[in-house]
Amino acid sequence: MKIIPLSAKRSQQFAIVLGAQNCTIKVYQKRTGMFLDISVASVPVLTAVICQDRVRLIRQDYLGFIGDLAFMDTQGTDAPSYKGLGTRWVLMYLEASDL
């Protein structure tokens, strides 16, 4: 597992290499919850997936992403909120061997 650093911002986008994949991740807060988009080599893998505590975000092998992502609440089991990103809620990359 690898913790992906996040800032306590309502919306953020960044590039990161995960499992030898050049990824672009966007995390953003809406009234209805926290959402995530992920692309690999500029090709969308998932868009507007809702983020919950300890729920894998990608889950499907046919999407072609190696590994998975999940948020974890370090102080309970609440769904993530931008004000606690990087402290209370961390985004974790789960390598294929972790699944």
Does the pLDDT value for residue 7 go beyond 80?
A: yes
Number of independent structural domains in the chain: 1
31-36: long-range contacts, CB 8 A cutoff, minimum separation 24:
33/79, 34/71, 34/79, 34/80, 34/81, 34/82, 36/69
What pLDDT sits at residue 69? Answer: 97
pTM given for the model: 0.93
- The predicted-structure confidence for 20-40, as pLDDT tens digits, reads as follows 999 999 999 999 999 999 999
Question: Which residues constitute the domain of residue 77?
Answer: 2-98
Query: Residues 82, 85, 89, 93: is their CA dihedral positive or negative?
Result: positive
Does the pLDDT value for residue 51 go beyond 80?
A: yes
Q: E strands along 6-61, which residues? A: 11-18, 21-30, 33-40, 43-50
